[in-house]
Amino acid sequence: MGSQAPTSDQLLELRNLTVDFGGVRAVNDLSLAIAPGELIGLIGPNGAGKTTVFNLITNDYQATSGEILLNGQSIRGLKPDRINRLGIGRTFQNIRLFPHMSAYENVELGLNSHPHYTMFEAFVRSPRAFRAEREARRRAHELLELVNLQDYANDRAGSLPYGLQRRLEIARALASDPKILLLDEPAAGTNEEESLALVQLIRQIHQTTGFAILIIEHHMAVVMDLCRDSRIYVLNLGSLLTFGSPAEIQSNPQVIKAYLGEKKDGRRRRRLS
Amino acid sequence: MKPANKLRKTVIGLVTAAAVAAGLGILVKIMGAGYFQNILILVGITLIATLGVAVLTGYTGLFTIGHAGFMAVGGYMAALLAKEAQVPFFYAVLGGGVFAGLTSFIIGYPAFRSRLRGDYFAIATLGFAEAIRLILNNVRQIGSITLGGAYGYMDLPTLDGSIWSWLPKGGWGPVIVVMAFALVIFFLTHAFVVSQWGKTCIAVGQDEVAAQMMGVNLMTTKMMALFISALYAGLAGGLMAFYYGYLTPGFFMITRSSDLLAGVVFGGMQSVIGPTITSAVLVAVPEGLRTFAEYRLIVYGLFFVVMMVFRPQGLMGYYRMDFSILGRLWRRREPAKAGGR
Amino acid sequence: MMLVLLQQVINGVSIGAIYSLLAVGYALVYSVYNFTNWAFDGFMAFGAFMGFAAIGSLAMPFWLAMIFSMILTAILSILSEKLAYAPLRVRQAPRLFMMISAMGVNLAVVNTLNKTFSGVMRRFPIPDEWITTYDFGEISIGRMDILAAIIAFVCLALLWWFLFRTRWGLGVRVSSIDIDTAALMGVSNNKVAFIIFFATGVLSSVAGVFFGIKYAVYPLMGGAVTIKAMIASIVGGLGSLPGAVLGSLLLGVLETMVSGYVSSAYRDVFAFALLIILLLFFPNGLMGREKGEKL
């Protein structure tokens, strides 16, 4: 670390975060901060770099420069599993469940990622091992109930409808007991009814667990509703355009222009220059 | 499964197992004890090594075609310990196994760091096995120890009776020893795969990126799985040494590694009982049918492809061990639910 | 001293040329389909045996036998793709399954050859007059080695021309970056598969024939060579075609030098040691690109 250790009273803070891929600057000088327990939104047109930001936080991509601080400690350059153990959980835009395992097993695997007993004890089935596993089973069922999937516990994850798979992924991410949850477009592909249910679910999770949540979303109604008491950051072409309350964002002419650069189906209109 | 249903299936399963055991007993009488003992010992040895590959490839998803190399390392080390250092049989075998496990770090550490692709590891296993075989082929003498190179390491203490005097005579002694090892390994392995440690292996095998994001340390998990598989292979090699009374590098050619892989591919990708059954069958059948033995590898090859295309999870993929499973086999085919318990 | 060194370099290049044919075939499949095709071991032996049979039983002249072998091996290669890989690819099966399937193809081919022809080592039937060497003082270069190097060069040059100067070659190159995008752009997946496995088959058969000429023809001949080709590919950078060629030549030379100065028995152990060093310090080899996964 540097001679002056960066400090922060925020839970998660990004400072001047930048990443270059070859000649392309995917994220440019991004700074944002999330306090414990906040529910923050991250929006922006397609290609703005939102998922890239998540990948930078979890260090699946190496940042070129800038700082990422969790509870004041730099986590840049740490291995993704270490970052998870320090308290960051995430879901993926492309859904990365274990398709052949049941819903229950998916969540249980999330709980088992740091065994609470030694390998030797695993082989000989010590009492501590039994207790830890029983506890994991109980907790797995608890998490399934939290996301209302207890009826699907034994179904193959790959066979579940899309919307339920997203919920399952959230449950699995919760299994590692994160302090902040990164949700990547959980409402993608959902219809009106499902997205309403999702909003309720996320709000309920937020209230029950008290974790911070950073949510990337393209579905405007969802993110405006969820973040109505907090703020939303807007990304465009890798840079932070602005941030503020939903009302402020919705009436901000720059934001509107950035989004109008897209046609309704999400493709960018050719620029005049 | 409902309790009454499960009870019924368990009873059916136990009856089936008993029937099979009785059938085998009759076969022994017909074919002669010595022949049978030979098969059982080979089954036991192969089973132990196969279970190791099951943990590495079946559960953790890492392709290996080099475990014959670990068998060789373990076998020769066990033989060295017993013959040159007069280490008692049991500890020699164990020592060989542990040594083989430690050797696995040579390819494990370079291949697993920085999230290199599984292909690198696979190539490394092939290279490793070949390198070991070549070294053993060419080293005739180390100091006063005559390893024999390609001619083989001779005059090792053997399993029959001379090791433990309380073993029954008539050739069943070695069978009991090997089967005891195999049984212990089987239960230890089952315990491992249902434990949280085993589940980290499964997660890595299913989706590394997701596993990492759940807090699983990829390097540690992979090296653990590799160590276990190499340990098992080494134990099997040691048992081989004391059964045959000698070792040559020719015992550990790539066909041996293919056999181990076949046990897992056919038996089931995430199963302990599956590879157990198939490796037993794959050893017993060629021994029994000489003509089949010649075509064996051709058939394996074709079946690898067939399995991958039509039933990649293998015979028993994703099933847990349970006698009720045998009972379930009698039912007409129904779509299998993963997990289930 | 220098002359001995030069001789070894020459020998190294001649075996490196054979490695390069296999390494390029391997790299081609890897760069587009992202998996290790173990089967080129068997294809090489198959090619050698087809050439052997063509001359021995069908009394074809050498050149015709080579073409005969190339075509048959290409057919085998394409067939294996259709039956063993395409069904998995379509389902987006995990790489582990593709590797297992490839190993299955290899086992089937090699052991069928073993059963049909037996493991006896055979001399590749070319006229004795052809096996001459050209001597320049103390340096001698085998005529067949020169031929091998030339033909290898021609094959690779043809491949290069195809990849960089034709439309279908462009399609293949695009596929190696991202096969799904290529499909969206109109590049037919089936055509690409056909081309790639045709090329692998041809390259393997040429390698097999010349390896057979240089050493001997037997069913397990692919064994020691393919691991070298794979390591050579890693030396050059997994997935890179020029890297495969470079790595092969480099490995061939280094290996021959180890064989000459240290011990011939440990030549193959050297390749393995090299692999470990590479993995530890240079996993991307000379020219490799690390292809990330879409997250």
HEC states along C85-138? HHHHHHCCCCHHHHHHHHHHHHHHHHHHHHHHHCCCCECCCCCHHHCCEEEECC
Cβ distance C232 to C251 under 8 Å?
yes
- How many angstroms separate the first and last alpha carbons of chain A? 44
- How many angstroms separate the first and last alpha carbons of chain B? 7
For residue B237, give the nearest of B122, B129, B111, B161 by alpha carbon. Answer: B129
Distances in Å between the Cα of B263 and the Cα atoms of B204, B288, B313 are 21, 18, 12
- Report pLDDT for B239: 93
Tens digits of residue pLDDT in B202-236: 999 988 888 988 888 999 999 999 999 999 999 99
pLDDT at A117 exceeding the cut of 70: yes
Report residue C130's pLDDT band, with 50, 70 and 90 as the boundaries. confident
Lowest mean pLDDT among A38-47, B227-236, C3-12: C3-12
Question: Is A61's Cβ below 8 Å from some Cβ in B?
Answer: no
**Yes or no, beta carbons of C97 and B308 under 8 Å apart:** yes
Residues from chain C that touch A94, judged by Cβ atoms under 8 A, are 294-295
Q: Residues with Cβ < 8 Å from B246, sequence gap 6 or more?
A: B152, B153, B154, B155, B156
Shortest Cα–Cα distance, A62 to chain C (Å): 12
For chain A, which residues make up each domain, given as ranges?
A: 1-87+178-273, 100-176
Question: Is A55's Cβ below 8 Å from some Cβ in B?
Answer: no
Question: Is B210's Cβ below 8 Å from some Cβ in C?
Answer: no
Shortest Cα–Cα distance, C264 to chain B (Å): 11
Q: What is the mean pLDDT of residues A130-154?
A: 88
CA atoms within a 13 Å half-sphere pointing along the CA-CB vector of A36: 9
Of the partner residues A89, A92, A136, the one whose CB lies closest to the CB of residue B196 = A136
On whether residue C257 sits in a domain, the answer given is yes
Report residue B166's pLDDT band, with 50, 70 and 90 as the boundaries. low
The tokens 């045959």 sit on which residue? Answer: B244
Q: Residues with Cβ < 8 Å from C105, sequence gap 6 or more?
A: B301, B304, B305, C38, C39, C42, C80, C84
Shortest Cα–Cα distance, C263 to chain A (Å): 43
Under DSSP, is residue A235 helix (H, G, I), strand (E, B) or coil?
strand
pTM assigned to the model:
0.87
Mean pLDDT across chain C: 87
Q: How would you classify the pairing of strands A39-43 and B145-146?
A: unpaired
Q: What is the mean pLDDT of residues A70-80?
A: 88
Instruction: List, in sequence order, every beta strand (DSSP E) within chain B.
Output: 141-142, 145-146
- Report pLDDT for C131: 78
Q: What is the mean pLDDT of residues B280-299?
A: 78
CA atoms within a 13 Å half-sphere pointing along the CA-CB vector of B157: 20
Name the residue range of residue C210's domain. 2-124+143-281
Question: Is C96's Cβ below 8 Å from some Cβ in A?
Answer: no
- Report pLDDT for C231: 92
Q: Residues with Cβ < 8 Å from B273, sequence gap 6 or more?
A: B316, B319, B321, B325
Cβ distance A58 to A231 under 8 Å?
no
Report residue C16's pLDDT band, with 50, 70 and 90 as the boundaries. very high
Q: What is the mean pLDDT of residues A164-192?
A: 89
Report residue A155's pLDDT band, with 50, 70 and 90 as the boundaries. confident
CB atoms within 10 A of CB B194: 17
Q: How would you classify the pairing of strands A232-236 and A39-43?
A: parallel
Question: Is C282's Cβ below 8 Å from some Cβ in B?
Answer: no
For residue A93, give the nearest of A38, A28, A146, A162 by alpha carbon. Answer: A162
Count, residues in chain C: 295
Tens digits of residue pLDDT in A252-270: 888 888 876 654 555 544 4
Sign of dihedral through CA atoms B234, B238, B240, B244? positive
For residue A86, give the nearest of A74, A101, A94, A95 by alpha carbon. Answer: A74
Q: What is the mean pLDDT of residues A167-176?
A: 91
Question: Is A60's Cβ below 8 Å from some Cβ in C?
Answer: yes
Lowest mean pLDDT among A199-203, B336-340, C95-99: B336-340
- Find the angle CA(B128)-CA(C272)-CA(C84) to the nearest 5 degrees: 65
Q: What pairs with residue A41 in β-bridges? A: A215, A232
On whether residue C137 sits in a domain, the answer given is no
Lowest mean pLDDT among A30-39, A224-233, B35-44, C182-191: C182-191
Q: Residues with Cβ < 8 Å from B77, sequence gap 6 or more?
A: B95, B96, B99, B100, B234, B238
SS (H, E, C) C245-294: HHHHHHHHHHHHHHHHHCCCCCHHHHHHHHHHHHHHHCCCCCCCCCCCCC
**Yes or no, beta carbons of B301 and C106 under 8 Å apart:** yes
Q: What's the rounded Cα separation, in Å, for the pair C195 and C78?
A: 9
For residue B51, give the nearest of B151, B150, B198 by alpha carbon. Answer: B198
> How many structural domains does chain C have?
1
For residue C44, give the nearest of C174, C168, C211 by alpha carbon. Answer: C211
Most confident of A152-156, B115-119, C209-213: C209-213
- How many angstroms separate the first and last alpha carbons of chain C? 55
Tens digits of residue pLDDT in A56-69: 999 888 888 899 99
Report residue C209's pLDDT band, with 50, 70 and 90 as the boundaries. very high
Q: What's the rounded Cα separation, in Å, for the pair A67 and A115?
A: 31
- Report pLDDT for B337: 40
Percent above pLDDT 70 for chain B? 84
ipTM, 2 dp: 0.88
Q: Residues with Cβ < 8 Å from B78, sequence gap 6 or more?
A: B92, B93, B95, B96, B97, B234, B237, B238, B241, B242
| Tokens describing residue C20 | 């390069």
Under DSSP, is residue A74 helix (H, G, I), strand (E, B) or coil?
strand
Under DSSP, is residue C75 helix (H, G, I), strand (E, B) or coil?
helix
Report residue B160's pLDDT band, with 50, 70 and 90 as the boundaries. low
The CATH number for C190's domain is: 1.10.3470
- Report pLDDT for C288: 66
pLDDT at B157 exceeding the cut of 90: no
Q: Residues with Cβ < 8 Å from C115, sequence gap 6 or more?
A: B294, B295, B298
Question: Is C167's Cβ below 8 Å from some Cβ in A?
Answer: no
Q: What's the rounded Cα separation, in Å, for the pair B282 and B182?
A: 16
Tens digits of residue pLDDT in B117-140: 888 899 999 999 999 998 998 888
pLDDT at B170 exceeding the cut of 90: no
pLDDT at B326 exceeding the cut of 60: no
pLDDT at A182 exceeding the cut of 90: yes
**Yes or no, beta carbons of A55 and C295 under 8 Å apart:** yes
- Report pLDDT for C100: 92
* CATH number for the domain running over A1-87+178-273: 3.40.50.300
Cβ neighbourhood burial of B18 (10 Å; 0-12, 13-18, 19+): exposed
**Yes or no, beta carbons of B199 and A109 under 8 Å apart:** yes
Q: What's the rounded Cα separation, in Å, for the pair C290 and B110?
A: 16
Identify which has the larger pLDDT, C180 or C146.
Answer: C146
3-state helix, strand, coil in chain A (%, to 5): 40, 25, 35
Mean pLDDT across chain A: 84
Q: What's the rounded Cα separation, in Å, for the pair C163 and C151?
A: 18
The b/e string for B212-230 (b: 16+ C-beta within 10 A; e otherwise) is bbbbbbbeebbbbbbbbbb
CA atoms within a 13 Å half-sphere pointing along the CA-CB vector of A16: 5
Most confident of A154-163, B60-69, B199-208: B60-69
Residues from chain A that touch C289, judged by Cβ atoms under 8 A, are none
Q: What is the mean pLDDT of residues C168-176?
A: 85
On whether residue C130 sits in a domain, the answer given is no
Q: What's the rounded Cα separation, in Å, for the pair A33 and B283?
A: 63
- Report pLDDT for B168: 64
Residues from chain C that touch A61, judged by Cβ atoms under 8 A, are 295
Tens digits of residue pLDDT in C39-97: 989 999 999 999 999 988 888 888 899 999 999 999 999 999 999 999 988 888 888 89
Identity at C112, one-letter amino acid code: T
Cβ neighbourhood burial of C92 (10 Å; 0-12, 13-18, 19+): exposed
Q: What pairs with residue A212 in β-bridges? A: A180
Report residue B318's pLDDT band, with 50, 70 and 90 as the boundaries. low
Cβ distance A196 to A105 under 8 Å?
no
For residue B103, give the nearest of B75, B137, B79, B84 by alpha carbon. Answer: B75
Which chains share 3+ C-beta pairs under 8 angstroms with C? A, B
- Report pLDDT for C101: 93
Under DSSP, is residue B247 helix (H, G, I), strand (E, B) or coil?
strand
| Tokens describing residue B208 | 């590394």
Tens digits of residue pLDDT in C247-292: 999 999 998 888 877 777 778 888 899 888 888 888 777 776 655 5
CA atoms within a 13 Å half-sphere pointing along the CA-CB vector of C247: 34
